[in-house]
Amino acid sequence: MKRWRILPGMALKGVMANKTAYYPYLMAGCFSVFTYFVFTSILWNDLTKTLPRAAYAWIFLELGRWLLGVILLIFLCYANSFLIKRRKKELGLYTLLGLEKKHIALMLFLESLLIYAVVTAGGIIFGLVLSKLLFLLLLKLSNLPADVKFVLAPQALKSTMFYFAAVFFLNYLRQLWGLSRVRPIELFSEGRKGEKEPKLLFLWALLGILTLGLGYSIAIRSEVDSNIFLNFFLAVFLVIVGTGFLFTSGSVAFLKILRTRRGIYYKPANFITISGMYYRMKKSAASLVNICIFSTMVVITLICTLSLYIGIDGFLHFYAPYDYTADFNMGAPGAKETEQETLALVKKYDLAIERVERYDVVRFSCVKRENCFETAGEEIPYSLRDVLYIMTLEDYNRMNGEKVKLEEGEVLIYSSGEDFGYDTAEIMGIRSRVRDEIQDLPPYPKAGINSFDTEYVAVVKDWKAGEEYVAAYTGCPKEEGWEMLTNLGIGKIGVLTRGEKEEKEAFVKEFSVWCQGQEGFRSQRDGIEARESERSMYGGLLFIGIIFGLVFFMCLIIIMYYKQISEGYEDQGSFDIMQKVGMSNREIKRTIHRQILLVFVLPLAGALSHTAAGMFMVERLMTVLGIFDLRLIRLCALLVSFLFILVYAVSYLITARTYYRIVRR
């Protein structure tokens, strides 16, 4: 009975006595609870669903919460394995003092309960303090109204407590499973056991190289098509598997080769470093794999987040180049009437005009094959069709302030994506000479790497030339070409202004009323509203990117820290023996730094290699999101990589000092 009474005290003392290992775990746990609680609080707050244009942000938060739950589960289970390994010798001592496995099981349960209580209380209190601040950050990034009241959702509290109760209970079951598989006496030597050399060592190392190479190949050769996300997950899976094989079997194979080189292996510093690494084999490699993968995730996440944050204005301009656009029947209203009404309203609302365009186009839904634009049959889905606009030279010169001239049979060609690149163009079977390729046409912003929504414009001499294309497109007689042209033709109005948001919205509202009152009105688009909707969606992505970047970085730092302190305690006895046989403190310190440097450089080199290969796919994925500025993405990649190396180096110095302090002790 006395043994049962002392268990709560032993559970508390067990945590306090191992504070070097438990305190970082408690801080990591509090951060995990805080992150999950904030996500859930914002997600389940009634206000999030009622805010205008908040649907996109809500969807991304919901996806982020599920993904966050998976990542935190894996991380906390991984971190817990370090704790139980650190306690095995202590638990073995308890068995010699008379405690049975059922007593140890209860003690571990009380420890888990204590940690769960501290972690959830700390994370939730921290979350209550900062939830509103982070909610305001989400509103700011999403450009949503900030003058709102944030109310805590009770479901968020329940969800967080139940989720982490399940996580800590799972960790407790893993601890019991580990204890049930070994005899008490084995607990003393469990932490000192070496590992058997993997079978088929060089075969697995070769398989790792091939798997990693295949993952790199998929990432580098991927194209922006319907399979890009499938290719992305396949490449990530292959890179993770290949990294695991290389760090477990490949690193051991490399160390085994070094052991055969007498000139390298039998130098004192090299002997200790290589022997220490070889002794740990797979268990050291498992940590290196996690450090490498989490480093890659941190860098890639920050590159995408920074590129999105800086490039979002460029995307919004591409997505909606005008504050307001309207479509009419061809020829109504005229450019003069449009300009007069625009100037009057701009003056009324104290705005400045960036651009006002009034032009006519004919739109063809077709299929582009090399330099040929052909009529699309019914069997071709709309997603695979291209769009070609026919515009007159008069409208083009007026819009661009130019005085270009065209001869009969000549056209100007413009592509909003990759350049057209041909000297001739065959439009609906009619061959024309390309006088020049236009590089800038305001109504259709250009993005050379955009392969999704590429639009083409053919500028013809006059509508008489356009009649021929329309007749060929519709299959009607040439004498009916003008009638078909006016039926297919669209009169477009586009207005872009400068000024305060409220005045611009008021201008758009009144101008849209005027346009709707004109004869031949067809449709309209509020560019300001369209940009705000897109910004709301990308604001949710930015918020998730920031949170996940912090989570990945926290996981990385904790794994690095636990790796060094666990290996420091393992190596403590070994270095003590070496010191007794004559090895100086200076030699020990040099050996430690060499060993830690090797451990840190390998995953860093792997992470930078993965990032370099992954940038090909990142650039393509960013184009899917509408970020077409490759130069911006690459500059962000260089900046993030440089800053990460600096932070990584600081982490190396800190953990090396911790490792050396443990070994000297």
Q: What's the first-to-final CA gap in the chain, in angstroms?
A: 38
pLDDT of res. 536 = 72
pLDDT of res. 638 = 93
Distance between CA atoms of 49 and 57, rounded to whole angstroms? 9
Distance between CA atoms of 456 and 428, rounded to whole angstroms? 14
Ranges of residues in the chain whose predicted pLDDT is under 50: 1, 52, 194-195
- Bridge pairing between strands 430-438 and 424-427: antiparallel
Do 205 and 244 touch, CB atoms closer than 8 A?
no
Helix (H, G, I), strand (E, B) or coil at 387: strand
Distances (CA, A) of 23 to 16, 561, 575: 9, 12, 26
Residue type, 414: Y
pLDDT of res. 248 = 73
- Beta-carbon contacts of residue 129 (< 8 Å; ≥ 6 apart): none
pLDDT of res. 88 = 65
Residue in this structure with the two tokens 């060609």, named with its chain if needed: 413
**Cα 226–Cα 228–Cα 230 angle in degrees, nearest 5:** 95
**Which residues make beta-bridge pairs with 345?**
none
Rounded to the nearest 10°, the torsion over CA 283, 285, 290, 292 is 160
249 DSSP 8-state letter: I
Distance between CA atoms of 460 and 457, rounded to whole angstroms? 10
- Beta-carbon contacts of residue 254 (< 8 Å; ≥ 6 apart): none
Residue in this structure with the two tokens 């890659």, named with its chain if needed: 296
Do 644 and 297 touch, CB atoms closer than 8 A?
no
pLDDT of res. 635 = 92
Exposure of 298 by Cβ count < 10 A (0-12 exposed, 13-18 middle, 19+ buried)? buried
Do 77 and 170 touch, CB atoms closer than 8 A?
yes
pLDDT of res. 520 = 81
